[in-house]
Structure 1
């Protein structure tokens, strides 16, 4: 054969997977300030102890994992083995963490955490990204003041419902009537 005469093209393999880096090292808030994810709350969560987000206050934690984010709302357990892979946190509202006083209190907090996860899961099951964003924004706006929700970076909602931050930005900019602007 003429294999010696044929030029072979080698395509260099380029990997975009960087195992030692994280998707989110810090958050840039809408006012331009940076919030480090190496906070005291994260250190507390990595201590191995279990805490409960105070159910008597409108507060919660966004827990940034490697490829997604989770919301732990009032009454939910945080920390312990469950959040040892947490890479960053963002407190919402006037955060208050309590220490469970009994086994039953701890178990109840874990059940509540599962309920918060199920709520987000229901939202992410929608195949239309813009609708997922609108639904998570609606949920947060029902529970937290509008200015609090508006102050959260796009990346936060993007990681909660599995969309690009640009999608969150478009939905926020165009508002609730976005479905009429897109042909589905």
Structure 2
């Protein structure tokens, strides 16, 4: 794996964190995104990306095909301590997947981009959303990276 996550430079500390997460995922270890923080993980798979937000399960059988990850916010992972925590984390992951599907069901690519961008700005903040690569948003909602760049450029022009 290189020192960039889909065209975003990462620090040595981020690279170490990414490598550790990938190792856990490839070992099929079940982890949970800390539900008490504004954080999440983008999971890059061969043909798309998924976002696992606060409370969501990652690893186990879900993410055997992950090729890279990108922490969002100040990522904190925990291990489920009880079977109920495990079940809840599965259900929350399912909710994140359903939300992405709802966004992706829109037939207009620019609208999908605008919605996912708005969601990330709402879940986190403008600064956090602005550092995520166009390619990442494109993989999350099934559009071309140039479509995302166009939406972002239009938003920048409107905010001036």
Pair in the same fold by TM > 0.5: yes
Following TM superposition, by how much is the alpha carbon of 1:27 offset from its aligned partner in structure 2, in angstroms? Answer: 1.8
User: Structure 2: how far apart are the matches of 1:89 and 1:100?
Assistant: 20
User: Structure 2: how far apart are the matches of 1:134 and 1:88?
Assistant: 24
Following TM superposition, by how much is the alpha carbon of 1:145 offset from its aligned partner in structure 2, in angstroms? Answer: 1.6
Q: 1:92 to 1:34 in 2, by over 3 A?
A: closer
Give 4+ residue runs of structure 1 displaced > 6 Å after superposition: 35-38
Larger Rg: 1
Find the residue that maps to 1:82 and give its secondary structure. coil
Following TM superposition, by how much is the alpha carbon of 1:47 offset from its aligned partner in structure 2, in angstroms? Answer: 1.7
CA RMSD of aligned residues (A): 2.0
User: Structure 2: how far apart are the matches of 1:177 and 1:139?
Assistant: 20
1:54 corresponding residue in structure 2 = 34
Find the residue that maps to 1:28 and give its secondary structure. coil
Q: How many equivalent pairs are there?
A: 151
2:91 corresponding residue in structure 1 = 111
Following TM superposition, by how much is the alpha carbon of 1:28 offset from its aligned partner in structure 2, in angstroms? Answer: 1.4
2:7 corresponding residue in structure 1 = 28
Decide which structure has greater helix share.
Answer: 2
Pairing partner for 2:73 from 71, 77, 93 = 93
Unaligned runs of 5+ in 2: none
Unaligned runs of 5+ in 1: 1-24, 179-184
User: Structure 2: how far apart are the matches of 1:127 and 1:176?
Assistant: 24
User: Structure 1: how far apart are the matches of 2:65 and 2:87?
Assistant: 21
Find the residue that maps to 2:148 and give its secondary structure. helix
1:149 corresponding residue in structure 2 = 129
Find the residue that maps to 1:126 and give its secondary structure. coil
